[in-house]
Amino acid sequence: MIEITNVTKKYAGNTALDDVSLSLSAGKIVGLLGPNGSGKTTLIKILNGLLRDYTGEVLIDGHKVDEHTKGLVSYLPDRTYLPDWTDAEGAIKMFKDMYADFDETKMRSLLEKLNLNPKQKLKTMSKGMKEKFQLALVMSRNAKIYILDEPIGGVDPAARELILNTILQNYASDSLVLISTHLIADIEQIFDSVIFLKEGKVVLHDDVDSVRTKKGMSIEAYFKEVFRC
């Protein structure tokens, strides 16, 4: 589904991604793990076409990043990307207009579950509410690939469970879910496989069960060992 070959990205001499090669197939939930500044968001931006100046090749469903691949990927960035002036209803209309795979019925039911008011202006929503609302929009698409950048990064522990359940209950089983996070303990139980990124390099890409068996420890414990300062 996603083929990344020898991708290197530099910012003014600093290497954010260093010769990264990955192959990600459908039907899996993949954890993209690494400390801040390890290159997770850079890789995600490249997959979504927000960074174009890099070397190497990225293919999604056999295509270079273009309007076709953007139609396949449902992307949740690590920030609020909806304009403040709109209300939830306006954002829903926009998604309905722009994404052929957007399921409005699913969205309405998610709004209810997440206790969000469709008439509420985004600027009056708290940070947590905005994050839940964006997640609902993203998960209401019947996409082939979900790319979620730090979906639980800015919410309290109680909301984390709700968000994880929302993700688990709303992705199609034949789709690929790529989740970037540094809060591993909260989320490692949902991963099928994990990628460790360290200083722009892939230091591990393996199935979760295999890592646990080989290393005899949880993903979080192994993460701490790999990234110990």
Partner 1 sequence: MLIKLIKHDLLATYREFTGLYVALISMAIVGPVVISTKNEWLIAILFFGLFGFTIATLVVTFMTIIKLYSRRLFSDEGYLTLTLPVKTRDTIASKVATGVFWSFATIAVFFLSFTLFTTIFYFILTGTQWYDVSVDIAAILGQISDTGIFNVLFNASLLGFPLSFMDTVYSMTLLLFIITLVNTSLIRKNRVAAGVALYLLASMILGSILSNLHGESILFTELILKLNESSGIADVANALRAFNFTFNGMDYAITLVGKLVYIVGLGFGTHWLLENKLEIE
Q: Which is nearer to partner 1, 102 or 191 (CB)?
A: 102
How far CA 60 is from CA of 66, 176, 209, in Å, comes to 9, 11, 26
To 5 degrees, how large is the angle CA 200–CA 213–CA 175?
60
In the complex, the smallest distance separating the C-beta of residue 70 from partner 1, rounded to whole angstroms, is 4
How far CA 87 is from CA of 121, 124, 148, in Å, comes to 4, 9, 22
Q: Which is nearer to partner 1, 90 or 118 (CB)?
A: 90
Which one-letter amino acid corresponds to residue 95? F
In the complex, the smallest distance separating the C-beta of residue 37 from partner 1, rounded to whole angstroms, is 15
In the complex, the smallest distance separating the C-beta of residue 228 from partner 1, rounded to whole angstroms, is 30
Sites for partner 1 among residues 1-40 (CB under 8 A):
11-12
Cα separation, 153 vs 224, whole angstroms: 18
In the complex, the smallest distance separating the C-beta of residue 185 from partner 1, rounded to whole angstroms, is 27
Pair of tokens at residue 123: 């600027």
Which of 79, 127, 214, 224 is the binder for partner 1 (CB under 8 A)?
A: 79
**Strands of 14-24's sheet in order across:** 14-24, 2-11, 55-60
Judged by CB under 8 A, how many residues of this single chain contact partner 1?
28
Quick one: which of 170, 177, 171 has its CA closest to 146?
A: 177
Q: Which is nearer to partner 1, 144 or 205 (CB)?
A: 144
Backbone phi and psi for residue 45, each to the nearest 5 degrees, phi listed first: -65, -40
Sites for partner 1 among residues 81-100 (CB under 8 A):
81-83, 85, 90, 94, 97-100
Sites for partner 1 among residues 44-73 (CB under 8 A):
45, 48-53, 67-68, 70-71, 73
* Interaction site with partner 1 (CB under 8 A): 11-12, 45, 48-53, 67-68, 70-71, 73, 75, 77, 79-83, 85, 90, 94, 97-100
